[in-house]
Amino acid sequence: MSGSLPENHVTLLLFFSLTISFPAALCTIQSCHAWPMTQLVDKVTDTWLIREVDLGSSKSRLDCARLCVSMLACTSFMVNHSTRRCRLHAHRLTDLDIFRPDLGFVTYETSRAPGAVGSKCTTDIECAMNNSLCLSGQCQCQATHSYSPNSRSCVTECPEYGQEFTVFPNNYITGNNLQVFIEPEMITPEACEAACLAYTLDVCRSIDLDYDLQMCLVSNETSFTAPASFIYYVKNIFYHQRQCAYQD
C-alpha cells in the first residue's frame, strides 16, 4: 500500500484509560515509533537494564514495545522472538556499549532516543538534556550531575545510587577518600567500581583511578558536592561518577 511503513518499523497507537495509573508524562492517546538497530542483532548488553520480562505466550515485539512506552525511563528495548524475552533499557543503546552474543535478540530504539543519554555525538549541542554534554563520543550528564532514569534528566543528587558509572578522563577528586586500594588487581575500572558498590559504611558516589600511582580511590563525594576538591586536566587519572538507580 502506498505510504505504508516498513514491516520492521513498529508503530504503536496506545489508548490509555484515564482511570488507570500511568507515569504522568504519558498521554491518554500516544503514538510511539520504534526502529530496529540493524547493527545490534544477536547480542545483548546489561547497560542501564531496567528489567527483563518473559512475554509468555506472546512473540510480538509490540508487547515489548508497549512495556517500554509505558515506562518513562525506557529509551531502548531488546526482544527475542524465539525465547520471548524482553529487555528494557534506560539508555540509548549503540555499538559503543559493551555487548555479548545472544542469538535471536534485536535491539529497538524509541522516539525518546534522539539526544538521550548514550546517544552518539560529536558536539554538546547534539545532546538534548539540560546539563548534559558530549563525552567520549556519547551524550552523558556533565560531571556535576548524575543521570536519573526515572525523570530522564541530569540531577545533582540521587535518591538512591545505582550500578552505572560515567567516566571522565583526566579529572579526579583530591582527598575525601573512604578507601584506598593499591593492589594490582584493583587497578581496573571493573574492580574499583565493584569496591565502590560494595562499600556499606557510607554512600560511595565516585571513584578515582590513578594509573600512574596505581591507586583506586573510593569516595563519598562528587564534583558537585566537593567542587573545590575537583581537579581538571590531569593525565592518566580517571574520575568515575556513580549514576542514579532506577526506582520502581
Residue 47's pLDDT is 94
Residue 226's pLDDT is 94
Q: How many domains does the chain have?
A: 2
Last residue of one domain, picked from the residues 86, 110, 134:
110
Closest-CA residue to 92 (of 59, 67, 114): 114
Q: What is the mean pLDDT of each run of 10 residues along the chain (248 residues)?
A: 47 36 32 81 96 83 88 94 94 94 95 94 96 96 96 95 96 94 97 98 97 97 94 94 95
- Please indicate, yes or no, whether residues 48 and 105 belong to a single structural domain of this protein: yes
Residue 59's pLDDT is 62
Q: What is the pTM of this model?
A: 0.83
* Cβ–Cβ under 8 Å, residues 165 and 242: yes
- Please indicate, yes or no, whether residues 220 and 173 belong to a single structural domain of this protein: yes
3 inside domain: no
Last residue of one domain, picked from the residues 68, 83, 110:
110
115 inside domain: no
Number of H helices, E strands in the chain: 2, 17
Residue 20's pLDDT is 29
Buried b (16+ CB within 10 A) or exposed e, 58-75: eeebebbbbbbbbbbbbb
Q: Can you give the CATH number for the domain in which 50 is found? A: 3.50.4.10
Residue 9's pLDDT is 55
Is 15 exposed, middle or buried (CB count within 10 Å of its CB: 0-12, 13-18, 19+)? exposed
Q: DSSP characters for 100-143?
A: EEEEEEEEEEETT-TTSTT-B-SSGGG--STTEEEETTEEEE-T
Closest-CA residue to 121 (of 132, 109, 107, 110): 132
C-alpha cell at 147: 543521570
Residue 27's pLDDT is 27
User: Assign residue 64 a region: left if phi > 0, alpha if psi is -120 to 50, beta otherwise?
Assistant: alpha
- Please indicate, yes or no, whether residues 174 and 196 belong to a single structural domain of this protein: yes
Residue 12's pLDDT is 47
CA 147 – CA 43 distance, rounded (Å): 25
CA 31 → CA 108, 112, 171, distances in Å? 16, 12, 42
1 inside domain: no
Q: Which range of residues forms the domain containing residue 60?
A: 10-110
- Please indicate, yes or no, whether residues 165 and 81 belong to a single structural domain of this protein: no
- Please indicate, yes or no, whether residues 130 and 240 belong to a single structural domain of this protein: yes
- Please indicate, yes or no, whether residues 129 and 104 belong to a single structural domain of this protein: no
Last residue of one domain, picked from the residues 110, 139, 158:
110
CA 106 – CA 99 distance, rounded (Å): 12
